[in-house]
Amino acid sequence: MSGGSTDVFKQYASFYDAIYATKDYEAEAAFVHSVLQDRGVKPGSSVLDLGCGTGGHAVPLARRGYRVTGVDRSAEMIERARKKVAEASVEVDLEVGDIREVRLRRRFDAAIAMFAVMSYQCTNADLAAALATVRAHLDVGGIFLFDAWFGPAVLAQRPERRRLTATAPDGDRIERLAEPRLDVVNQTVEVRYSITRFRDGKRLETAHESHLVRFLFAQEIAYFLEQSGFRMAAIGPFMDLSRLPDERDWNVSILAAAV
């Protein structure tokens, strides 16, 4: 992820993979691969992974033969990504950088920003800057695939307090309490996390994080894309571009083409 305060992800990085151990990165990478192929971007092509986190998508894409470059603002996330890349025996270029500002001085065949990275761009200026970064790294016809929180679903379903329990690689138990605050005017949800590590029933440490996430609407997405040199080619439920999204779909996938 990228686009918020670096400190937000500094402690969070140590818990990140345990918390999202059940997230099906392989299925998401397969979806990305399918979309890329449909658009003529074959294995061997270059892919820019913005907000790459700990490499959950970069590694399986590299296994499929893509030349992946990952960028994330969190040095801690990038360090964990490097370990995953080494363990998988694949090649992925990894860079620490803010997706609103980074310029790698090269072009890519496609770009992705998965796991609501674009929803972490909470102001209009941040969203425009992030899209400008994507456009600067694509030639005309290059594609950009990303996902975001979908406004109609957020307003229809409303964010709820949630508790998640996970097991860290060392066997410690991780508990995360998420307490959201909805701001309908600014189109944001502030999610306050309390993440606690337990060992043998004893609490070892607790980290507190606050993540601000923006929800977006279809016409708003299309407008920002158009202003940034893109055409919105498709929008659908997360990992499903075969139908239009509705208020059931909290997350949506968006495919854009550089013009």
The per-residue pLDDT for 132 is: 98
What is the rounded average pLDDT of the residues 76-88? 96
* DSSP-assigned beta bridge partners for residue 71: 50, 95
Provide the pairing of β-strand 251-258 with 138-150.
antiparallel
The per-residue pLDDT for 65 is: 98
- DSSP assignment letter at 67: E
65 in a structural domain: yes
Give how many domains the chain has, as a whole number. Answer: 2
- Residue 195: phi and psi, rounded to 5, are -120, 120
Q: What is the CATH number of the domain that holds 178?
A: 2.20.25
162 in a structural domain: yes
- Read off the pLDDT of residues 191-211 as tens digits, 9 standing for 90 and up: 999 999 999 999 998 989 899
- Cα(129)–Cα(134) distance, rounded to whole angstroms? 9
Domain range for residue 22? 6-149+216-258
Q: What is the CATH number of the domain that holds 68?
A: 3.40.50.150
Select the more confidently predicted residue: 205 or 104.
104
The per-residue pLDDT for 15 is: 76
- Read off the pLDDT of residues 123-160 as tens digits, 9 standing for 90 and up: 999 999 999 999 999 999 999 999 999 999 999 999 99
3-state DSSP assignment of residue 226: helix
Q: Are residues 205 and 251 located together in one domain of the fold?
A: no
* DSSP-assigned beta bridge partners for residue 207: 195
Contact (Cβ atoms closer than 8 angstroms) between residue 204 and residue 229? no
Q: Are residues 95 and 223 located together in one domain of the fold?
A: yes
Contact (Cβ atoms closer than 8 angstroms) between residue 139 and residue 48? no
- Percent with pLDDT over 90 in the chain: 88
Range scoring the smallest mean pLDDT among 27-31, 99-103, 168-172, 209-213: 168-172
- Read off the pLDDT of residues 218-227 as tens digits, 9 standing for 90 and up: 999 999 999 9
160 in a structural domain: yes
Q: Are residues 224 and 100 located together in one domain of the fold?
A: yes
- Read off the pLDDT of residues 9-47 as tens digits, 9 standing for 90 and up: 455 666 788 888 889 999 999 999 999 999 999 999 999
Q: Are residues 76 and 182 located together in one domain of the fold?
A: no
The per-residue pLDDT for 16 is: 83
Q: Are residues 209 and 98 located together in one domain of the fold?
A: no
1 in a structural domain: no
Contact (Cβ atoms closer than 8 angstroms) between residue 51 and residue 113? yes
- DSSP assignment letter at 81: H
Q: In 233-257, which positions are buried (b, 16+ CB within 10 angstroms) versus exposed (e)?
A: bebbbbbebeeebeeebbbbbbbbb
